[in-house]
Amino acid sequence: MLTQKLQQKLLQKLSPQQILLMKLLQIPSIALEQRIKQEIEENPALEDSSDPGMSADEGDTVPEPEPDPVEELEKEREDFDITEYLDDDDIPAYRLNANNTSADDEQREVPFASGVSFHEVLLQQLGLRRLDERQMQIARYIIGNLDDSGYLNRALSAMVDDLAFTQNIITDVKELDELLSVVQEFDPPGVGARDLRECLMIQLRRFEQTPSVALALQLVDKYFDELTKKHYDKITRRAKVSEDDLRDAVNEILKLNPKPGNSMGETTRANHYIMPDFFVYNKDGELELQINSRNAPELRLSRTYVDMLETYAESKTKSNSQKDAVMFIKQKIDSARWFIDAIKQRQNTLFVTMSAIMEYQSEYFLTGDETKLRPMILKDIAEIVGLDISTISRVANSKYVQTPFGTFLLKTFFSESMQTDSGEEVSTREIKKILSDCIDNEDKIKPLTDEQLTDILKEKGYNIARRTVAKYREQLSIPVARLRKEL
């Protein structure tokens, strides 16, 4: 049975302005510049006051009243005559060009760095080989299948089928293997390998065959698994070599490049720089915070659109087309005001939040000692600044702060707390720092195991379990003791 009833509900719903602010908060300053440019392109009522194409007084002075733009546009449409654009009496374009340069003029051009890609280097070396056209096509196809590290990750049998279907070239695995051997002779040494073992063997064969190189080639060929797992005791027993000879052979292997393609691909890769969102300075023992405003320019409303509204208000006759135009203008001006307010709120929220973090971790920002970092979670900062935890999380996301001791990701300053034997709460970041220092100063011949690291931390008053030490070690990207062993 269908019924109708009146019901009241209390709902919490975000306004469009709040949604816009939340989206702006979570992007870093380097991405904010592109977001502002996009908004200026989409909204003609929004302008950048730092635009060099506009005068300094243009946004402050009120120009003389102009005719209504809607009426002017309709008048232009009525007077439009296409024959005016087809007049043959126009001045030719070549008569409007000026040539005031001579051969003696100094040409100053900005140099652009350009490098040759890894695959282009290989193709250049291929051109120096005496191969027929069919072999050239197959070799070029092999080079095209190499990844950026210089490895061939495709099976030769699969490449045989590809060449038959795509290039109409009938070949077999034997011929592909022969041409792959030709590619493996190119520089840098090791290209064209199908795995790490083959890559190392290609490079070792290029060296002068000294006793240590010959032993290294034997180790890679026969004891590669034991070598990667650093089971040196097994290698010495099975290969019947002394520890000194094994050390010399391993040193030869450590000189090799496991990714030969990367050595030549660096010239074509763009460098990525971190644009900090905050700057923390130490002014004679006093911390000073500065927010990066480079990518947050001063925005303002377009004076042209404001004048349109004033002209419409003063107009005595208002047509339907004028009303439609004014509704469009009002919508764009409101959107521009929301965006300007959101940018200001974003800057204020970032400054207040970072100020609270700077005060909370003042000992670290003054000394740079990671052991001085206090345990801090999002809730601690949220209670200080009076904002929601989700807002603090958006501020800490993808933001960087530049300190006198380096540039760091903001969320790295947040860490859980752990209680020592004396009852003091310390940051897990402090424990990780001590753990890292212990591993850096260990004897690499006999590296410290997780049990030994646990005992050292317990002696310092940090009562944590061995599995917790293993977890922190993995978070620091430090391998187990066996893989840290050196001869």
- 447-487 pLDDT tens trace: 888 898 988 888 888 888 889 889 888 888 888 888 888 77
User: pLDDT by residue (tens digit) across 149-166?
Assistant: 889 998 999 999 989 898
Asked if residue 379 and residue 303 are part of one domain, the reply reads yes
**Residue 403: which residues within 8 A CB-CB, separation 6 or more?**
280, 365, 368
**Residue 69: which residues within 8 A CB-CB, separation 6 or more?**
308, 311, 325
- Please give the Cα distance from 310 to 92 (Å, whole number): 43
Asked if residue 305 and residue 211 are part of one domain, the reply reads no
b/e per residue 22-52 (b: at least 16 CB within 10 A): eebbbbbbbebeeebeebbeebebbbeeeee
> Omega into 188 within 30° of 0, i.e. cis?
yes
Residue 392, class by beta-carbon neighbours within 10 Å (0-12 exposed, 13-18 middle, 19+ buried)? buried
Highest mean pLDDT of the ranges 1-10, 310-319, 385-394, 409-418: 385-394
- Please give the Cα distance from 97 to 113 (Å, whole number): 32
Name the packing angle between helices 232-239 and 211-222 (round to 10°).
110
Asked if residue 385 and residue 303 are part of one domain, the reply reads yes
| Other CB atoms within 10 Å distance of the CB of residue 309 | 13
Residue 296 lies in a domain: yes
Average pLDDT score, the chain? 79
User: pLDDT by residue (tens digit) across 198-210?
Assistant: 999 999 999 888 9
Q: Find tokens 């026969």 and name the residue.
A: 222
Q: Beta strands 286-291 and 299-301: pairing type?
A: unpaired
Instruction: Over range 378-385, report the average pLDDT.
Output: 90
Asked if residue 350 and residue 246 are part of one domain, the reply reads no
Q: Where are the beta strands (DSSP E) in 69-122?
A: none
CA 205 to each of CA 182, 198, 199, 223: distance values in angstroms, whole numbers, following the listed order: 14, 11, 10, 17
| Sequence-ordered alpha helix ranges (H) in 281-427 | 303-314, 320-360, 362-367, 378-385, 389-396
Residue 47 lies in a domain: no
CB 426 within 8 A of CB 444: no
User: pLDDT by residue (tens digit) across 122-148?
Assistant: 999 998 888 899 999 999 999 999 988
Q: Which of 357, 388, 413 is the last residue of a domain?
A: 413
213 pLDDT more than 60 = yes
Residue 143 lies in a domain: yes
Instruction: Over range 257-286, report the average pLDDT.
Output: 75
Q: Supply the DSSP string of 331-359, one letter for each residue.
A: HHHHHHHHHHHHHHHHHHHHHHHHHHHHH
Q: What angle do CA 25, 30, 36 make, to 5 degrees?
A: 70
Residue 375 lies in a domain: yes
Residue 339 lies in a domain: yes
Q: What is the structure's pLDDT at 463? A: 84
Q: Which two tokens stand for residue 295?
A: 């990518």
- Please give the Cα distance from 362 to 366 (Å, whole number): 6
Q: Which residue would you say has higher pLDDT here, 476 or 266?
A: 476
Asked if residue 282 and residue 409 are part of one domain, the reply reads yes
User: How many contiguous H segments (helices) and E segments (strands) does the chain have?
Assistant: 21, 8
Residue 346 lies in a domain: yes
Asked if residue 427 and residue 409 are part of one domain, the reply reads no
Residue 40 lies in a domain: no
16 pLDDT more than 90 = no
Residue 83 lies in a domain: no
55 pLDDT more than 50 = no
102 pLDDT more than 60 = no
- Please give the Cα distance from 395 to 374 (Å, whole number): 19
Q: Which residue would you say has higher pLDDT here, 84 or 39?
A: 39
Q: How many domains does the chain have?
A: 4
104 pLDDT more than 60 = no
300 pLDDT more than 50 = yes
Asked if residue 222 and residue 162 are part of one domain, the reply reads no
348 pLDDT more than 50 = yes
Domain that holds residue 213: 198-259
Tally of CA atoms within 13 A in the half-sphere of 92 that contains its CB: 2
CA 25 to each of CA 264, 292, 394: distance values in angstroms, whole numbers, following the listed order: 39, 14, 6
Q: What is the structure's pLDDT at 142? A: 92
Q: What is the structure's pLDDT at 220? A: 92
Is residue 271 very low, low, confident or very high in pLDDT (cuts 50, 70, 90)?
A: low
Q: Which of 162, 186, 210 is the last residue of a domain?
A: 186
